[in-house]
């Protein structure tokens, strides 16, 4: 259809069988699982096939470099990588997630390199700097609980000590898992040199809500693409309810201290209190009873909640309210409760100048492409505190994400690559 042909769609088709989850549906590709490692290997292979120079940095971030040719470099190779233009995303997924959240950004980046290569070969593109494609580990936080762990480590948004101590569901620490992947935990953490390589970061991503398919976009000529404006502030909290584990048959209803009851009241409070704030989103997506037997009153229930709002003070107030109600629910049930903040990221406003450049480029492909806020977190959001970042969204006709129904039409993916290539060319 265009010079981007269907490279992005072939790349996505090549990984369509990796990490499918027959039980949950969709894909489960937690960081450093066999599936995610297959995708990392696929990425390296595709990068090598394009003659890109690849490396893994000390935080497990993969980089594939399209360097300036030696005659065009005024300095050393390393020097010429400082202030590069970087694009990329992630390859890990939530449990039972969709095909596009993450991998679309990687496949589109590789396809955009193909387009730019051709433009350079035909003399229509003259570059001033290197381009890199980056793959960030543990973007979803589905294994170690903190999202965007790779970009947080890189930029110092999380302390190395805290990151290394995070545990997965099997009790394996992030530090142990990193070591098993050949990384050295003693050298993980903020990496000023790697950070200095990023002049600007652009992430292409599937749109994850109804941002491009709301009723006013369902007309002919509706835009397939958008440019990111803001990311809602968001965080994760865990409430542990402690009660008395006991026998389901012998314990009278009046004699129980059942943490599942306190947790359940809290689930309803989360929804009720969030609804008092028009722009808030609050979710209990994970509840874990210990020991977890049908005929056992739990001794402990962990409840994880995700709370988001554009005003960080409102988020904090909402969490406080929820916590007050959770303590009351625990007390009423003869239980105790503890609250832990696992992560928080304030509301992000993407770099206005970069957003303007992206908008101009994207509108060549999608003339009515809007600037769109999102409620989803991204590595581009974490990196925004250190370097100018921006995002391009591709329409998702299902309006569903973090679920198997997430979808992107082939033609829209192709438009996304076209727009990404134009934007990168403008910035190169
Ligand atoms: C990650 O995708 C998030 O927004 O939670
Ligand atoms: Mn996601
Ligand atoms: Mn994502
Ligand atoms: Mn995300």
Which stretches of 179-271 are assigned E, i.e. beta strand?
198-206, 225-231, 233-242, 246-247
pLDDT higher than 50, residue 284: yes
pLDDT higher than 60, residue 217: no
Distance from the alpha carbon of residue 378 to the mean position of ligand 1, in angstroms: 7
pLDDT higher than 50, residue 51: yes
Which pLDDT tens digit goes with each residue over 360-375?
999 999 999 999 999 9
- Distance, in Å, from the CA atom of 132 to the CA atom of 152, rounded to the nearest integer, reads 19
Region 255-282 average pLDDT: 98
- pLDDT confidence band for 168 (50 / 70 / 90): very high
Among protein residues, the one with the nearest Cα to ligand 1's atom 1 is: 377
- Distance, in Å, from the CA atom of 382 to the CA atom of 362, rounded to the nearest integer, reads 23
Q: Is the CB of 376 under 6 A from ligand 1?
A: yes
Which pLDDT tens digit goes with each residue over 32-49?
999 999 999 999 999 999
Q: How many independent structural domains does the chain possess? A: 2
Q: Is the CB of 381 under 6 A from ligand 1?
A: no
- Distance, in Å, from the CA atom of 232 to the CA atom of 345, rounded to the nearest integer, reads 9
In a shared domain, residues 219 and 267: no
In a shared domain, residues 301 and 422: no
pLDDT of residue 5: 55
pLDDT of residue 53: 98
pLDDT of residue 4: 54
In a shared domain, residues 125 and 254: no
- What ipTM was predicted for this assembly? 0.92
- pLDDT confidence band for 1 (50 / 70 / 90): very low
Residue 294 lies in a domain: yes
Residue 2 lies in a domain: no
Which pLDDT tens digit goes with each residue over 56-95?
999 999 999 999 988 878 788 989 999 999 999 999 999 9
Region 334-362 average pLDDT: 97
- pLDDT confidence band for 6 (50 / 70 / 90): confident
| Binding site listing for Zn(2+) | 90, 101, 140, 205, 402
Residue 1 lies in a domain: no
Concatenated DSSP letters of 366-422: STTPPEEEESS--HHHHHTTTS-EEEEEE--TT---SSTT----HHHHHHHHHHHHH
In a shared domain, residues 206 and 313: no
Which pLDDT tens digit goes with each residue over 171-200?
999 999 999 999 999 999 999 999 999 999
Q: Which of 330, 345, 360 is the last residue of a domain?
A: 345
**CATH assignment at residue 296:** 3.30.70.360
Q: Which of 325, 345, 365 is the last residue of a domain?
A: 345
Distance from the alpha carbon of residue 295 to the mean position of ligand 4, in angstroms: 37
- Whether the bond into 291 is cis, omega within 30 of 0: yes
Distance from the alpha carbon of residue 288 to the mean position of ligand 4, in angstroms: 23
Structural domain harbouring 313: 233-345
């Amino acid at each position: 259809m265009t010079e981007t042909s269907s490279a992005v769609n072939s790349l996505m088709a090549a990984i369509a069988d990796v990490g499918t989850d027959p039980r949950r549906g969709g894909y489960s590709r937690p960081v450093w699982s066999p599936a995610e490692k297959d995708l990392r290997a696929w990425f390296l292979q595709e990068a090598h096939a394009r003659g890109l120079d690849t490396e893994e940095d000390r935080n497990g971030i993969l980089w594939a470099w399209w360097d300036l040719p030696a005659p065009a470099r005024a300095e050393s190779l390393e020097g010429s990588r400082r202030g590069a233009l970087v694009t990329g995303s992630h390859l890990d997924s939530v449990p039972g997630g969709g095909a596009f959240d993450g991998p679309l950004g990687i496949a589109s980046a590789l396809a955009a390199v193909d387009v730019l290569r051709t433009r350079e070969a035909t003399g229509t593109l003259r570059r001033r700097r290197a381009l890199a494609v980056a793959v960030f580990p543990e973007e979803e936080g589905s294994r170690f609980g903190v999202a965007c762990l790779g970009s947080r480590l890189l930029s110092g948004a999380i302390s190395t000590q805290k990151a290394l101590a995070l545990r997965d569901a099997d009790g394996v620490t992030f530090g142990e898992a990193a070591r098993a992947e050949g990384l050295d935990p003693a050298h993980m953490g903020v990496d000023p040199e790697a950070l200095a390589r990023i002049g600007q970061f652009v992430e292409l991503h599937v749109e994850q809500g109804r941002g491009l398919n709301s009723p006013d976009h369902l007309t002919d000529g509706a835009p397939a693409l958008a440019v990111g404006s803001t990311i809602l502030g968001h965080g994760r909290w865990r409430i542990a309810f402690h009660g008395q584990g006991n026998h389901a048959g012998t314990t009278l209803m009046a004699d129980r201290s059942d943490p599942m009851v306190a947790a359940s009241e809290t689930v309803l409070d989360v929804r009720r209190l969030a609804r008092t704030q028009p722009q808030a989103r609050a979710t209990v997506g994970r509840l874990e009873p210990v020991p977890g037997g049908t005929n056992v009153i739990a001794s402990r229930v962990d409840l994880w909640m995700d709370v988001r709002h554009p005003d960080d003070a409102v988020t904090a107030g909402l969490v406080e309210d929820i916590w007050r109600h959770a303590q009351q629910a625990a007390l009423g049930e003869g239980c105790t409760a503890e609250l832990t903040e696992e992560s928080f990221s304030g509301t992000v406003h993407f770099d206005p100048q970069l957003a303007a450049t992206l908008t101009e480029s994207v509108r060549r492909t999608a003339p009515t492409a809007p600037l769109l806020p999102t409620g989803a977190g991204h590595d581009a959001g974490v990196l925004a505190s250190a370097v100018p970042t921006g995002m391009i969204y591709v329409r998702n006709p299902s309006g569903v994400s973090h679920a198997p129904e997430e979808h992107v039409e082939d033609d829209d993916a192709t438009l996304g690559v076209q727009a990404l290539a134009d934007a990168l060319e403008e910035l190169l």
